[in-house]
A and B are shown apart, each in its own frame.
Chain A
């Protein structure tokens, strides 16, 4: 049973979402403030955090950054429709996905399940690209021999791209393959995730070698 931590300050929304998520088969812990949320995340080791951006003490972005600094758990933001600035800032702070409030519980559940989906382990396939070694069986990525801590979404994105080096993937394609969203998904999810992944595996993220941008179309892995 997936263990979730819901950080939301409004008591009614918190209660409603807790009922809904429990009903969908999740085990739900809740927190009303950012600090409490960070404590509970540390103590409870949840699989994913559902995080409201508007919190009274620490705002959601700061909570997101602090969670990211110490963990690789999946983070889904709750945002208001059209608050594009919040969405971009939240994705930059490290969120894997976001949903717009008010959210249909089914939609939230589908997103949670998508970010938590177990990554299929390939039988004993170790790929080496330059300094990067991807162990598809152990789901371990190392750079120059040192393991790189990736979130499930980042790992999935890297596995998809590296599976077909030099093949160009459009953003909507990646949204389907990695986020399991249809074409309506927000392409900024892809861009933000690529940025984070570059920061972790590229020598120089501004002149990427592994994750290259194909302007106006999407991304591809290599040539290394």
Chain B
């Protein structure tokens, strides 16, 4: 970290400068004083003056040496003193820095102990007050966040029972609606369709509340990539709408249901918001010391505005604020992202250079356990 020892060097430099100045001043004063004294001595003893030349005083060089020597010794002493003094001044500053760093890293309980009654002690008190207030604020936010999450989870669970009853009869309603006349048929179809939508929304809310509660778990199994992709598209009736480029022959260790959810949400998003053709491509590569499967869903729509990109995985984020409600629950990409994260993978959203939006899932490839016996 640049400048970490800046204060220390500046303090030492200050001490040394003072020492140097003192040494030089002593030197100059001593020398000038000595020269003046010697001249007075010689004026008083003119009888010794033989040929008009001032005799070279044998002791003046020695005095100069002594003066310079003591100046150097003083300088050395000052350097040592400077070291000690700066260490003493800097120790509490260093401690403060270390504690602040731990606080920043999330150790909100850490406090400094104040000793003495100088400016440093005031700072320590202020710091501790700040930490206490920060801890209280964070705890309060955390409590509110947990409450909101639990509320969403509870509401979703409560909605599930009446929804189960309604959803059960939607097929009957759909089939019978053909015998109804005009408005009644339309009404029956509307109830049926919106029940399915509500069901999807509640299912997604429950799913995301499980991620929030930390109770989402991976049920690992092996699946063949081509099977996973084909089934995902087939059960949703998307086989004709998506161009699947030849996939690597690969068995993937993952939670098959969650992989299906990721692929379905990426493809569904492309079909809803992008333009055809929607293509799906997968490849493997090595990065950061492990093997990865990457799976890219690309559409040929207008792509995403730059201000939307950082928010595409946000919950209920609507790229187009004018649109009141999309076909999806608004949680699809957030759920896909959480599922990727649960696999220690990521999803990357970008505008492709050739145009259109692209979402790329990067999934670490866990080796299939070896077959035994």
Is the pair A102, B199 in contact by a Cβ cutoff of 8 Å? yes
Is the pair A215, B164 in contact by a Cβ cutoff of 8 Å? no
Identify which of A13, A186, A214 gathers the most chain B CB atoms within 10 Å of its CB. A13
A13-B164, A16-B164, A184-B260 in contact; A217/B222 too (CB < 8 A)?
yes
Q: How near does chain A come to B261, taking the closest CB pair, in angstroms?
A: 10
Chain B 212-249, CB-CB to A under 8 Å as 1, else 0, gives: 00011101011110011001001100000000000000
Q: How near does chain B come to A25, taking the closest CB pair, in angstroms?
A: 12
Partner of A216, one of B199, B207, B256, B369: B369
Q: Which residue of A lies closest to B195 (CB)?
A: A102
> What's the Cα separation between A212 and B164 when bound, in Å?
39
Set of chain A residues within 8 Å of B210, measured between Cβ atoms:
82
Q: How near does chain B come to A194, taking the closest CB pair, in angstroms?
A: 14
> What's the Cα separation between A42 and B202 when bound, in Å?
37
> Is A121 an interface residue, CB under 8 A from the partner?
no
Is the pair B231, A81 in contact by a Cβ cutoff of 8 Å? no
Q: Which residue of A lies closest to B161 (CB)?
A: A10
Closest 6 CB pairs of A and B: A216-B369, A16-B168, A12-B165, A102-B164, A16-B165, A20-B168
A102-B160, A102-B164 in contact; A82/B169 too (CB < 8 A)?
no
> Is B130 an interface residue, CB under 8 A from the partner?
no
Partner of B163, one of A20, A102, A186: A102
Main secondary structure of the interface of A (DSSP, over half): mixed
Set of chain B residues within 8 Å of A184, measured between Cβ atoms:
231, 235, 256-257, 260
> Is B370 an interface residue, CB under 8 A from the partner?
yes
CB-contacts of B251-265 with A (<8 A): 256-257, 260
Set of chain A residues within 8 Å of B166, measured between Cβ atoms:
16, 102
Is the pair B164, A186 in contact by a Cβ cutoff of 8 Å? no
Q: Which residue of A lies closest to B172 (CB)?
A: A23
Partner of A82, one of B199, B206, B372: B206
CB-contacts of A52-79 with B (<8 A): none
Q: Which residue of B lies closest to A187 (CB)?
A: B221
Is the pair A23, B171 in contact by a Cβ cutoff of 8 Å? yes
> Is B90 an interface residue, CB under 8 A from the partner?
no
Chain A 189-201, CB-CB to B under 8 Å as 1, else 0, gives: 0000000000000
Q: How near does chain A come to B265, taking the closest CB pair, in angstroms?
A: 15
A81-B207, A172-B222, A183-B256 in contact; A106/B164 too (CB < 8 A)?
no
> What's the Cα separation between A17 and B164 when bound, in Å?
8
A82-B207, A214-B373 in contact; A13/B222 too (CB < 8 A)?
no
Could you jot down 14 A-B contacts, CB within 8 Å?
A12-B161, A13-B161, A15-B165, A16-B167, A81-B203, A82-B206, A104-B171, A105-B171, A106-B171, A170-B222, A172-B227, A214-B373, A216-B370, A217-B222
Chain A 1-16, CB-CB to B under 8 Å as 1, else 0, gives: 0000000001011011
Partner of B160, one of A101, A171, A187: A101
> What's the Cα separation between A217 and B369 when bound, in Å?
7
Q: Which residues on B are within 8 Å of A, measured CB to CB? A: 157, 160-172, 175, 199, 202-203, 206-207, 210, 215-217, 219, 221-224, 227-228, 231, 234-235, 256-257, 260, 368-373
Q: Which residue of B lies closest to A82 (CB)?
A: B210
Is the pair A214, B160 in contact by a Cβ cutoff of 8 Å? no
Is the pair A182, B231 in contact by a Cβ cutoff of 8 Å? yes
> What's the Cα separation between A147 and B220 when bound, in Å?
36
A82-B206, A82-B216, A102-B167 in contact; A215/B371 too (CB < 8 A)?
yes
Partner of A182, one of B160, B169, B207, B235: B235
Q: A13-B164, A215-B371 are in contact. List 15 more A-B contacts (CB 8 A).
A: A12-B161, A20-B168, A20-B169, A82-B206, A102-B166, A102-B203, A103-B168, A104-B170, A106-B171, A172-B227, A183-B227, A184-B260, A186-B257, A187-B219, A188-B219
Set of chain B residues within 8 Å of A17, measured between Cβ atoms:
164-165, 168
> Is A168 an interface residue, CB under 8 A from the partner?
yes
> Is A137 an interface residue, CB under 8 A from the partner?
no
Q: Which residue of A lies closest to B232 (CB)?
A: A184
> What's the Cα separation between A101 and B216 when bound, in Å?
18
Set of chain A residues within 8 Å of B256, measured between Cβ atoms:
172, 183-184, 187
Q: Which residue of A lies closest to B209 (CB)?
A: A82
> What's the Cα separation between A131 and B174 when bound, in Å?
54
Q: How near does chain B come to A102, taking the closest CB pair, in angstroms?
A: 4
> What's the Cα separation between A187 and B371 when bound, in Å?
17
Q: Which residue of A lies closest to B196 (CB)?
A: A104
Q: Which residue of A lies closest to B369 (CB)?
A: A216
Partner of A19, one of B172, B206, B217, B370: B172
Q: How near does chain B come to A14, taking the closest CB pair, in angstroms?
A: 8
Set of chain B residues within 8 Å of A215, measured between Cβ atoms:
369-372
Is the pair B162, A12 in contact by a Cβ cutoff of 8 Å? yes
Q: How near does chain B come to A113, taking the closest CB pair, in angstroms?
A: 15
Q: Which residue of B lies closest to A18 (CB)?
A: B168
Set of chain A residues within 8 Å of B217, measured between Cβ atoms:
84
